[in-house]
C-alpha cells in the first residue's frame, strides 16, 4: 500500500513533466541556459572559493543566458587529472584553469581549442594584446593562443631586514647580483659554539619542482632551457651547468642548507629566522605578510649576466569537446573575468600577479600598491621574466631535469654529469615530438 | 523418475536463487574489479592513445620499456626495502603494544586510544605533521638530536635517509591498526590458560612463546596479508613528504605508477606496471593462503 502510493507519487510528476516537456520542447529549448562547467584549482590560501563564486554570480547577472558552475577541483595536479580523464571519457568541463605549462600536453591530447577563433572584433583583439608579454610566452605556440593568463605568479626574493641590520648590511639594499648574494649570505650565516649553523644566509627550495627555482639561476645566467615550440631542451649548455654549479657551491660554502630543501617549510624557515634570504613565489606574499614578525623586504631575483625570473601559475583553457554555444559562452566568461577591475580584485584577494598593465592602473590596485609596495615587485620584474619551463611530454621531461638537479644538490653527481644525463634522457623522450 | 524431476527443478530453482542473491555483489565486483583488471591487461599490449590517434597493438613493448626503465627498478628495490622494514617492524610493534595494553594497568583505555589514533588520522594530514617533525633545525626530531648534541641533519632532503624517514611514518601509521586485531585476539583467549600456566609456574616469556603466540597465529596470518598489501599500497605520504625524491631515493612502485599514469599520461606503460604489480601481489596472497595457511594452527 505504502509502496504503491510512493510509486504513484513518483510517477505523477514525472509524467506531468514529460508531458510538459513534449508540449513545449521548442520553447524550453530556446530558453535553456548554456551550461558552463568551470574547474579551478587552489594553490594558495585565502577565501578563494568565495571570490570565484562572486565572479560567477556577477557574470550570470550580466549574461542571463549562461549558467556558470564553478567546480573546485583540488590542487593543479588533481585538476588536470580530473579534466583530462573527463576529456577522455567525452565530457570535459567547458573551461578550466590549469598550469600554463600543461599547454603542450593539452594540445597533444587534442583536448583544447585555440582562442584565436573567438577573437573577432577590434575590442577582442585589444583585450588579447593587453596581457603582459611574459605571461603570453607560456600561452602561445605555433602562432596561436591556447591559454589566457589568470592566476599567474613569479619567483621573487624575500629578505629579513632585521637580520640584515644585525649582520651589518644595509636593510634597504638587497643583493642585486650573484656576487653580492654570495657575499651577503656569507655575512648572514650564523653558527653556534659547536660550529652548527643556526641561521642560513640564503635558501632556495628544491623539493617537488626544483626546475622552477632553478630557472631563477639559469635566467640571470642568460640561458633559456626550452625552445618556443617545446621540442628541444638545452640542459647541457655550459651556462646552465654554470648556474647549477653556483647553486651547489652555495651549499658547499656552508651558507645554503645542504641537500634538498623542502618547498613547503621554506616560508616557515623564514618566519623562524632560520633563513635570512629565501626564494619563493609571489603567491606566498600574503602568507609572509601575515606571519613574519619582523620587517621584511621583497625584491627582484639577483642577476648575473642579466636579470630575470620564471613566471608560473595557471591559465584558462577552453575544451574542444563542448558545444560551440558553450565555447562562445566560455570565451565571454574568460574575457569578462580578466578585465582590469576583476584582475585587480583577484590579485589583492590571492597575492597572484595581476595579468595586465591596465589592472595596475585601476584605483584599487594603485591604492593597494601605495600601502604595500612589496606587492608591486613582481610586476616590476615582469619585463625581464621568462616562460616557465615547458615542453611536449612536459612532466616526463621535467622529471628528468628535476632528478638531475636533486642528484647534483645532494652531491651524488657533479653538475656537469647531472645535466648531461638529464639532457640525454630529455632527448630520448622528445624524439617523438620532433 | 518423478522424484528425480522434482529434485532437478528444485536444484535449478535454488541455483537461480543463489545467483540472484549473488547478483548485486557480482555486478559490483565485475564492474569495479574484474573488468578494470582485464581491460588493464589488454591495454598493456597497446600503445598509449593520444588525441585522435588510437592505441595500436605493440605486443610486449611496454614490458620491454619497463625492463629498461631505471626508475622502475629503483622503485622495485626501494619497495622491497620498504616492505622488508615495515612488515616485521609494524607487526612486532603491534604485538608488543597489544600485550602491553591487554594488561590491567592504569589508563588502559587512554593508552589503547592513543595507540589507535594514527590509524584514524588521514595519511595526508599525518604526512603534513611528520613533515614538520623532520624539518631541519627546528623540527621535533632536530630538537631532540640537537639537545643530545648531535649534528643537524636534513632527513627528507638527503638520499641516505629519505627512504628510512618515509618508512618510519608508515610503521607508525600501521602498528596501531594491527594492534587492534592482536588485542581482540588476546581478549578472546581463554583466561583459564593463564591460570593453568601460573599454577604450573611458567614464566611470562614461556607463557607467551608456548601459549599466546601459537594461539595468535591465525591473527598473525591475517595481519601479515594486510601488511604485505599495505607495503605496496601505502604511498599517500610520499606526495607530501618527498614526492619520491631526492633523485628517486624514496620512490615506491605505486607512486611511480601514479606518475607514469597521471603525470606523464603514458597510460599503456602504466597498465603494464599495474599488471606486474597485480601479479606479484596475487602471487604473494596465494602463497600466504595456500602454503602458510596450512602451517597455522586454528582452534
Which residue of chain A comes nearest to B241, CA vs CA?
A262
Q: What grid cell was written down for A141? A: 605556440
- pLDDT for B80 beyond 60: yes
pLDDT band at A6 (very low <50, low <70, confident <90, very high): very low
Instruction: Choose the mutation target among A207, A261, A390, A425 for the interface with B, i.e. most B CBs under 10 Å.
Output: A207
> Hey, is the C-beta of A78 within 8 angstroms of any chain B C-beta?
no
Tell me if A110 and B52 make a contact (CB, 8 A cut-off).
yes
Distance in angstroms (rounded) separating the CA atoms of residues B133 and B118 = 15
Q: What grid cell was written down for A122? A: 577590434
Domain A31-153+312-384: which CATH number of 3.40.50.970, 3.40.50.10170, 3.40.190.10, 3.40.630.30 = 3.40.190.10
CB of B190 closer than 8 Å to CB of B102: no
Which of A43-47, A68-72, A223-227, A254-258 bottoms out in mean pLDDT, i.e. has the lowest?
A43-47
Residues in A closer than 8 angstroms to B149, CB to CB, are: 194
- Indicate the DSSP class of residue A100: G
Query: Can you give the pLDDT at residue A44?
Result: 57
Listed by number, the residues of chain A in 271-290 with a beta carbon closer than 8 Å to a beta carbon of chain B are 272, 274
Using DSSP's 3-state secondary structure scheme, residue A296 falls into: strand
Looking at the complex, report in whole angstroms how far the Cα of residue A19 sits from the nearest Cα belonging to chain B. Answer: 34
Full DSSP string of A176-241? -BHHHHHHHHHHH-EE-TTS-EEEEEEE---SS-HHHHHHHHHTTTT--SB-TTSS-B-TT-HHHH
Of A196, A208, A257, which has the smallest distance from its Cβ to B154's Cβ? Answer: A257
Looking at the complex, report in whole angstroms how far the Cα of residue A364 sits from the nearest Cα belonging to chain B. Answer: 37
Of A109, A274, A403, which has the smallest distance from its Cβ to B51's Cβ? Answer: A109
Task: Give the H or E element holding residue A155.
Answer: strand A148-160
Listed by number, the residues of chain B in 253-292 with a beta carbon closer than 8 Å to a beta carbon of chain A are 259, 262-266
- pLDDT for A11 beyond 70: no
Instruction: Choose the mutation target among A196, A262, A274, A411 for the interface with B, i.e. most B CBs under 10 Å.
Output: A262
What would the pLDDT profile of B221-233 be if each residue is shown by its tens digit?
889 888 988 999 8
Q: Would the ipTM clear 0.85, i.e. be above it?
A: no
Beta bridge partners of A112: A319
What would the pLDDT profile of A45-67 be if each residue is shown by its tens digit?
557 788 888 999 999 999 888 99
Instruction: Choose the mutation target among B56, B142, B264, B266 for the interface with A, i.e. most A CBs under 10 Å.
Output: B264
pLDDT band at A25 (very low <50, low <70, confident <90, very high): very low
What would the pLDDT profile of A99-155 be if each residue is shown by its tens digit?
999 999 999 889 999 999 999 999 999 999 999 999 999 899 988 999 999 989 999
Query: Can you give the pLDDT at residue A243?
Result: 95
Distance in angstroms (rounded) separating the CA atoms of residues A318 and A326 = 9
Residues in B closer than 8 angstroms to A82, CB to CB, are: none
Q: What grid cell was written down for B286? A: 596465494
CB of A150 closer than 8 Å to CB of A323: no
- pLDDT for B3 beyond 70: no
User: Region A282-299: what's the mean pLDDT?
Assistant: 89
Tell me if A84 and B265 make a contact (CB, 8 A cut-off).
yes
> Hey, is the C-beta of B243 within 8 angstroms of any chain A C-beta?
yes
Of A105, A207, A269, which has the smallest distance from its Cβ to B265's Cβ? Answer: A105
What would the pLDDT profile of A59-94 be if each residue is shown by its tens digit?
999 988 899 999 888 888 889 999 999 998 888 999
- Match 601479479 to its residue by C-alpha cell: B279
Strands A144-145 and A275-281: unpaired
- What percent of chain B clears pLDDT 90, i.e. is strictly above it? 32
Listed by number, the residues of chain A in 134-163 with a beta carbon closer than 8 Å to a beta carbon of chain B are none
Looking at the complex, report in whole angstroms how far the Cα of residue B135 sits from the nearest Cα belonging to chain A. Answer: 7
Strands (E), B138-297: none
> Hey, is the C-beta of A194 within 8 angstroms of any chain B C-beta?
yes
More confident residue, A82 or B293: A82
Query: Can you give the pLDDT at residue A88?
Result: 87
Query: Can you give the pLDDT at residue A14?
Result: 42
- Considering only the top CATH level, what class is A155-310+387-433? alpha beta
Tell me if A260 and B264 make a contact (CB, 8 A cut-off).
no
Same fold, A31-153+312-384 and A155-310+387-433: yes
CB of A341 closer than 8 Å to CB of A362: yes
- Indicate the DSSP class of residue B30: I
CB of B98 closer than 8 Å to CB of B186: yes
Set out the domains of chain B in order of their start, with CATH numbers: 63-295 (1.10.3720.10)
Beta bridge partners of A226: A233
Listed by number, the residues of chain B in 125-184 with a beta carbon closer than 8 Å to a beta carbon of chain A are 131-132, 135-138, 146, 149, 151-152, 154, 156-159
**Which is nearest to A159 in space by CA: A292, A321, A276?**
A276
Looking at the complex, report in whole angstroms how far the Cα of residue B245 sits from the nearest Cα belonging to chain A. Answer: 7
Of A110, A198, A406, which has the smallest distance from its Cβ to B245's Cβ? Answer: A406
Instruction: Choose the mutation target among B39, B75, B136, B238 for the interface with A, i.e. most A CBs under 10 Å.
Output: B136
Using DSSP's 3-state secondary structure scheme, residue A273 falls into: coil
The residue extents of the domains of chain A are 31-153+312-384, 155-310+387-433
Long-range contacts of A172-177 (CB under 8 A, 24+ apart): A172/A297, A174/A277, A174/A297, A174/A299, A174/A302, A175/A277, A175/A302, A176/A300, A176/A302, A176/A303, A177/A302, A177/A303, A177/A304
Which of A78-82, A311-315, B281-285 bottoms out in mean pLDDT, i.e. has the lowest?
B281-285
CB of A71 closer than 8 Å to CB of A94: no
Query: Can you give the pLDDT at residue B1?
Result: 44
Tell me if A407 and B247 make a contact (CB, 8 A cut-off).
yes
Q: What grid cell was written down for A99? A: 598550469
Which residue of chain A comes nearest to B162, CA vs CA?
A260
Amino acid at each position: 500500500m505504502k509502496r504503491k502510493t510512493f510509486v504513484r507519487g513518483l510517477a505523477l510528476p514525472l509524467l506531468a513533466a514529460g508531458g510538459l516537456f513534449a508540449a513545449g520542447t521548442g520553447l524550453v529549448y530556446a530558453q535553456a541556459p548554456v551550461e558552463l562547467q568551470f574547474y579551478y584549482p587552489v594553490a594558495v590560501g585565502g577565501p578563494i572559493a568565495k571570490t570565484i563564486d562572486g565572479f560567477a554570480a556577477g557574470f550570470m547577472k550580466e549574461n542571463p543566458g549562461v549558467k556558470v558552475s564553478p567546480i573546485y577541483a583540488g590542487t593543479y595536479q588533481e585538476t588536470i587529472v580530473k579534466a583530462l580523464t573527463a576529456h577522455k571519457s567525452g565530457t570535459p568541463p567547458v573551461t578550466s584553469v590549469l598550469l600554463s605549462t600543461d599547454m603542450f600536453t593539452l594540445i597533444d591530447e587534442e583536448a583544447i581549442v585555440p582562442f584565436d577563433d573567438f577573437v573577432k572584433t577590434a575590442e577582442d583583439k585589444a583585450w588579447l594584446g593587453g596581457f603582459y608579454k611574459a605571461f603570453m610566452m607560456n600561452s602561445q605556440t605555433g602562432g596561436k593562443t591556447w591559454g589566457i593568463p589568470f592566476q599567474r605568479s613569479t619567483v621573487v626574493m624575500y629578505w629579513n631586514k632585521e637580520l640584515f641590520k644585525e649582520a651589518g648590511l644595509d636593510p634597504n639594499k638587497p643583493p642585486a647580483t650573484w656576487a653580492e648574494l654570495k657575499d651577503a649570505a656569507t655575512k648572514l650565516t650564523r653558527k653556534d659554539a659547536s660550529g652548527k649553523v643556526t641561521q642560513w644566509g640564503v635558501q632556495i627550495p628544491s623539493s617537488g619542482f626544483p626546475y622552477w627555482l632553478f630557472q631563477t639561476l639559469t635566467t640571470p645566467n642568460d640561458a633559456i632551457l626550452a625552445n618556443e615550440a617545446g621540442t628541444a631542451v638545452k640542459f647541457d649548455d655550459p651556462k646552465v651547468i654554470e648556474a647549477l654549479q653556483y647553486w651547489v657551491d652555495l651549499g658547499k660554502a656552508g651558507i645554503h642548507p645542504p641537500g634538498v630543501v623542502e618547498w613547503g617549510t621554506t616560508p616557515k624557515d623564514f618566519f623562524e629566522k632560520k633563513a635570512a634570504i629565501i626564494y619563493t613565489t609571489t603567491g606566498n606574499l600574503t602568507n609572509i605578510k601575515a606571519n613574519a614578525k619582523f620587517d621584511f623586504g621583497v625584491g627582484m631575483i639577483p642577476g648575473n649576466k642579466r636579470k630575470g625570473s620564471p613566471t608560473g601559475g595557471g591559465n584558462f583553457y577552453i575544451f574542444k569537446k563542448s558545444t560551440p554555444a558553450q565555447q562562445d559562452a566560455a570565451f565571454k566568461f574568460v574575457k569578462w573575468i580578466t578585465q582590469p577591475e576583476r584582475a585587480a580584485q583577484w590579485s589583492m584577494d590571492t597575492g597572484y600577479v595581476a595579468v595586465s598593465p591596465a589592472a595596475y592602473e585601476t584605483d584599487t590596485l594603485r591604492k593597494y600598491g601605495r600601502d604595500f609596495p612589496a606587492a608591486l615587485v613582481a610586476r616590476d620584474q615582469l619585463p625581464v621574466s621568462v616562460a616557465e619551463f615547458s615542453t611536449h611530454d612536459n612532466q616526463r621531461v621535467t622529471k628528468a631535469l628535476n632528478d638531475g638537479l636533486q642528484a647534483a644538490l645532494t652531491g651524488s653527481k657533479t653538475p656537469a654529469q647531472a645535466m648531461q644525463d638529464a639532457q640525454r634522457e630529455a632527448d630520448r623522450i622528445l624524439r617523438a615530438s620532433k | 523418475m518423478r522424484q528425480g524431476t522434482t529434485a532437478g527443478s528444485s536444484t535449478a530453482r535454488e541455483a537461480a536463487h543463489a545467483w540472484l542473491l549473488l547478483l548485486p555483489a557480482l555486478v559490483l565486483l565485475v564492474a569495479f574489479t574484474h573488468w578494470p583488471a582485464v581491460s588493464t591487461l589488454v591495454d598493456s599490449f597497446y600503445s598509449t592513445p593520444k588525441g585522435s590517434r588510437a592505441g595500436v597493438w605493440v605486443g610486449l613493448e611496454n614490458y620491454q620499456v619497463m625492463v629498461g626503465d631505471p626508475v622502475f627498478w629503483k622503485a622495485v628495490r626501494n619497495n622491497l626495502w620498504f616492505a622488508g622494514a615495515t612488515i616485521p617492524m609494524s607487526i612486532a610493534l603491534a604485538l608488543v603494544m597489544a600485550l602491553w595494553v591487554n594488561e590491567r594497568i592504569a589508563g588502559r583505555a587512554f593508552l589503547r586510544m592513543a595507540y589507535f589514533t594514527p590509524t584514524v588520522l588521514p595519511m595526508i594530514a599525518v604526512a603534513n605533521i611528520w613533515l614538520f617533525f623532520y624539518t631541519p633545525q627546528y623540527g621535533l626530531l632536530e630538537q631532540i638530536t640537537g639537545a643530545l648534541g648531535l649534528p643537524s641533519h636534513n632527513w627528507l632532503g638527503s638520499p641516505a635517509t629519505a627512504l628510512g624517514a618515509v618508512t618510519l611514518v608508515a610503521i607508525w601509521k600501521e602498528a596501531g591498526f594491527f594492534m587492534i586485531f592482536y588485542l581482540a585476539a588476546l581478549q578472546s583467549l581463554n583466561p583459564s590458560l593463564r591460570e593453568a600456566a601460573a599454577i604450573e609456574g611458567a614464566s611470562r616469556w614461556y607463557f607467551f612463546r608456548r601459549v599466546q603466540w601459537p594461539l595468535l597465529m591465525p591473527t598473525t596470518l591475517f595481519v601479515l596479508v594486510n601488511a604485505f598489501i599495505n607495503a605496496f599500497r601505502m604511498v599517500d605520504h610520499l606526495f607530501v613528504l618527498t614526492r619520491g625524491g631526492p633523485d628517486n631515493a624514496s620512490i615506491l612502485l605505486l607512486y611511480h605508477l601514479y606518475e607514469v599514469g597521471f603525470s606523464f599520461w603514458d597510460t599503456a606503460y602504466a597498465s603494464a606496471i599495474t599488471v606486474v604489480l597485480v601479479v606479484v601481489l596475487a602471487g604473494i596472497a596465494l602463497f600466504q593462503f595456500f602454503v602458510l595457511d596450512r602451517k597455522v594452527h586454528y582452534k
